[in-house]
Amino acid sequence: MRIAICDDQEASRNALLAALTVFKNSHTFVDQTEQVKVEVYCSASELLESDIKFDILFLDISLGDADGISTGIRLRDMGYSGVIIIQTSFIDRTMDAFQVTVLRYLVKPIQQNKFDEALQAALNLLHTSQNSIVIRFNGKDQFIKISDIIYLESYYKKITLVTINGEVETTSLWKELTKQLPARHFEFIQKSYLINFHQIEEKLANTVILSNKKKLNISVRYRQRFEVAYNRYLEGLAWGSQHLHS
């Protein structure tokens, strides 16, 4: 479990760290065996340039080098599917946070009970299908993080999810799986392969190389559709970058 804090004010960062310490001493995380790591960022650029994957982000709405809402939009366009909790001193801007799909907003100065409620809601959400998909594995439901999926492969009645942690075979129906995935981040390259744009390491003329070094061909039948969807995805990343630095 990784929690990130992004705020340009040292006093605000320290207040959140203190609130988190109180929470950890009085609450139980969903997975008691999981180690909780906290990353602290002092600016939007520092946050966006980090390659650390985090599950929950406390994001200040007013940062020194950028607007927090723009930063949140950029993160979403980059594929961040974790939980965002906005913190703000400006109550009239709380509605802006809904542009970024946030879970909660916290008004400064942070109150411990409000912090506890927001973090507990975030922890609960991480174990639902909003951040994961549910698959049938060995007769039981299992959650797989969407961001961890590299691609899905369907071969006859066998469905395999290839993730950054390995392969998982499931008895779930193909339709049940695909409807849980965000359409703007996944696309078919063949009838049997649905890939995650975020896991593309390199795209060649008619092939893609994925983060696990797997090379897959883009079939003629799906090539045009894939190109349109992938270009839209890249445009979203470019737009987010321009919006952040404008």
Of 127, 159, 192, the position where a domain reaches its end is: 127
Same domain? 66 vs 161: no
Residue 80's pLDDT is what?
82
What span, in angstroms and rounded, lies between the C-alpha atoms of 217 and 141?
32
Residue 129's pLDDT is what?
41
Same domain? 167 vs 95: no
The domain spanning residue 85 has which CATH number?
3.40.50.2300
Same domain? 143 vs 101: no
Same domain? 117 vs 221: no
DSSP letter for each residue of 203-236: E-SSEEEETTS-EEE--HHHHHHHHHHHHHHHHH
* Residues comprising the chain, all counted: 246
The domain spanning residue 190 has which CATH number?
2.40.50.1020
Of 79, 98, 127, the position where a domain reaches its end is: 127
Of 95, 127, 159, the position where a domain reaches its end is: 127
What pLDDT, in 10s, does the model give residues 151-181? 999 988 889 999 998 999 998 888 888 888 8
Q: Per DSSP, what are the bridge partners of residue 38?
A: 3
Residue 167's pLDDT is what?
92
Contacts of 150 (CB under 8 A, 6+ apart): 162, 163, 164, 195, 196, 199, 210, 211, 212, 214
Domain of 181 in residue numbering reads as: 134-241
Residue 28's pLDDT is what?
60
In a domain, 246, yes or no: no
Among 78, 14, 95, smallest CA distance to 44 is for: 78
What span, in angstroms and rounded, lies between the C-alpha atoms of 217 and 195?
11
Helices (H) and strands (E) in the chain — how many of each?
Answer: 6, 15
pLDDT < 70 regions, the chain: 28-34, 65, 90-102, 127-131, 236-246
Same domain? 96 vs 162: no
